[in-house]
Amino acid sequence: MRIGHITLANRLFAAPMAGVTDRPFRQLCKRLGAGYAVSEMVTSRKDLWSTLKTSRRADHEGESAPIAVQIAGTDAAMMAEAAAYNVARGAQIIDINMGCPAKKVCNQWAGSALMKDEPLALAIVEAVVAACAPHGVPVTLKMRTGWCESARNAVALARAAESAGVAMVAVHGRTREQGYKGDAEYGTVTAVKRAVSIPVVANGDIDSPAKARAVFEATGADAIMIGRAAQGRPWLFNEIAHHLATGEAAPPPRTAEVREWLLEHLDDHYRLYGEFAGVRSARKHIGWTLRGLPGGEPFRAAMNAIESCAEQARAVGEWFDRLAERMPVMPACGADAERVAAIH
């Protein structure tokens, strides 16, 4: 699997998610089987680049290659400048955000709202490609199937993007109008794959090894991108890789292993965010990991009252020690058979 001249470790990608895919989380996903991970979106507004929020999003210290940064905005010249800025800070791949359905993004006509204005979308693509080309940095595009049910224009945009020099497109199987409601559809992904010669990535509702295999088979996609399903369970990438290679279910990780992965992630997270922000922003990652585990909800409620990073990490470690005594192996995850069959 290649993006331009860059060869990736495998065909399993961690999707860019605002407030989630910071450097510590990207590194965790890569460690647990993701061949590629894209940063949460960085604004193209120059006046915000010096803010703490943006500087953290653009932090790649110690990150394993390739370093991929997603940029978002509505002005072609500003997007080109943002691309050059991030390349100078270490980005090896620039991804253009035309997939985010969030109102605060779309109300500014950024993210998936750009799909409603194809000339502007193409102008942005052309400007970003031109800014990256002198540095040998490939440009990718992440988008939805369209703005709404009656305007599924992903195929047209993918063709135009390929002609403009984009090296890869990722398609989330929902319209902007859907947000994250309903089920993702993969027919549009299949149509995009048939329409272009660059790699195409399928995204949306891929939450198990069986579902991953089904999406690959149904769409012919070159790679799959996993977002929400990796929250709290980043070892899903290893589970999928094992299943694709052997056809068998991977043995679920031991509870003690998950404890170590989570504590190492928390340490990295605290180092990036500091004491005050770190203990608070870590709560969601811990909560996702606790989801569905026996006694997880009561502990989560108690953990959310902790104000110290050291105390939070200690509490998490002790809780998982107790869990490991009762449940040495984490529960396996499988997709609903009817949903998997429906893909075909």
**What pLDDT, in 10s, does the model give residues 254-310?**
999 999 999 999 999 999 999 999 999 999 999 999 999 999 999 999 999 999 999
Per the document, the length of the chain is 344
Q: Which residues make Cβ contacts (< 8 Å) with residue 80, sequence separation at least 6?
A: 127, 128, 130, 131
- pLDDT value of position 197: 98
Q: How confident is the model at residue 333 (pLDDT cuts 50, 70, 90)?
A: low
Looking at domain 2-246, its CATH architecture is: Alpha-Beta Barrel (3.20)
pLDDT of 110 reads 57
- Mean pLDDT across the stretch 65-82? 94
The pLDDT of residue 63 is above 50:
yes
Annotated domain spans of the chain: 2-246, 255-326
Stretch 131-136: mean pLDDT, rounded? 98
Q: Which residues are catalytic?
A: 100
- Looking at the chain, the whole-number percentage of residues with pLDDT higher than 70 is 92
Residue 104 has pLDDT above 70, yes or no: no
Higher-confidence position of 343 and 120: 120
State yes or no: cis peptide before 101, omega within 30 of 0.
no
In this structure, are strands 68-72 and 42-43 parallel, antiparallel, or unpaired? parallel
Average pLDDT over residues 132-136: 98
Q: pLDDT class for 337, splitting at 50, 70, 90?
A: very low
Looking at every residue in the chain, the average pLDDT score rounds to 91
Strands 6-7 and 2-3 turn out to be antiparallel
Residue 53 has pLDDT above 90, yes or no: no
How many helices (DSSP H) and strands (DSSP E) are in the chain? 13, 11
Rounded mean pLDDT, 25-38: 97
pLDDT at 185 over 60: yes
- Angle, vertex CA 199, rays to CA 241 and CA 3, nearest 5: 85
Under the banding of pLDDT at 50, 70 and 90, the label for residue 334 is low
The arithmetic mean of pLDDT across residues 305-332, rounded, is 95
Mean pLDDT over 192-209 rounds to 97
Residues 325, 322: Cα–Cα separation, whole Å: 5
Q: What is the pLDDT of residues 140-181, one digit of tens each?
A: 999 999 887 778 899 999 999 999 999 999 999 998 777 788
Task: Check whether 211 has a pLDDT greater than 70.
Answer: yes
pTM over the 0.75 mark: yes
Listed residue (184, 226, 220) closest to 200, CA to CA: 220
Mean pLDDT value of segment 204-218: 96
